[in-house]
Chains A and B, each alone.
Chain A
C-alpha cells in the first residue's frame, strides 16, 4: 500500500510569515498533485509536478517535486488570511492505463490576521 505522509498536520501562523509543508513517501510516483480544500467544498487542484526536481510557482506558492519523485514540498511566501485551508498532496500511479491518486492526510493551515 502506498502511503503519503504530510507534515505538519496542523499549522497556525501570522499573516506575512513564510511556511513550508512537506509530503513524503517511500514510493515513486508518476506525478504529484497538490490540492486545496475549503470547508464544505471538495478539493481543488492547485498544481501538478511530473518531472523529478521540477519546481512550479503559482503566485506566492512554490511547489517542488523531489529528484527521486517520492516527495514534494509546498512553500508559501508572505502568507495571507486567504491561504487558510486544508492542503492535500496526492501521488499518482498509472495502473492498467488509469491514473490512480493516493492522498496524504492533509495539512490544515490557519493564517491569523
Chain B
C-alpha cells in the first residue's frame, strides 16, 4: 500500500483565495482524520469521518473551513477565504476501529497564506 497520500505538498496562496487540500486514505481504513500542526498549538484535530460520514467537526476553527468525503478513497479540506493565520501544516490520517491501532499519517500539506 502506498500509505496515506496528500496533495499538494506545498501551497502558497494570497489572502482571500480559496484553498483545497486533498487526501487519499489507506484502502480498508474506515476512519479519516484531518489535523493541523503549528509550533504554537501542536497537532489539533479539525474533523474526522467514519465510513465517509462526518462524526465530529468541533475542531474546525470557523465557517471558512469545510471538509468532505464523497467516497471511501477521497477527502478534501477547503478554506475559503484563506487568511494568513491559516498558515500551518495540514495532515490527513486514516485508521481502523480497533483499540490500540495507530493512525497512519500522510506527509502533510504545508500551507502558506501571504
* Residue ranges of A at the interface with B (Cβ–Cβ < 8 Å): 30-31, 33, 35, 40-45, 48, 50, 88, 92, 94-106
Contacts and interface: CB of A to CB of B under 8 A. Distances in A.
B46 to A, nearest CB: 13
B106 A42 contact: yes
A45 B55 contact: no
Contact of B103 (A30, A101, A104, A105): A101
Interface string B76-110: 00000000000000010101011111111111100
A45 B99 contact: no
A99 B97 contact: yes
16 contacts: A40-B107, A41-B107, A42-B4, A42-B93, A42-B107, A45-B102, A45-B103, A48-B100, A48-B101, A94-B99, A98-B31, A99-B31, A99-B98, A99-B101, A102-B45, A103-B43
B70 interface: no
Contact of B108 (A41, A88, A96, A104): A41
B7 interface: no
In the complex, which range does the number of interface residues on chain B fall in?
Answer: 20 to 34
Given A41-B107, A98-B50, A100-B48, A50 B100 contact: yes
B43 A88 contact: yes
B99 A50 contact: yes
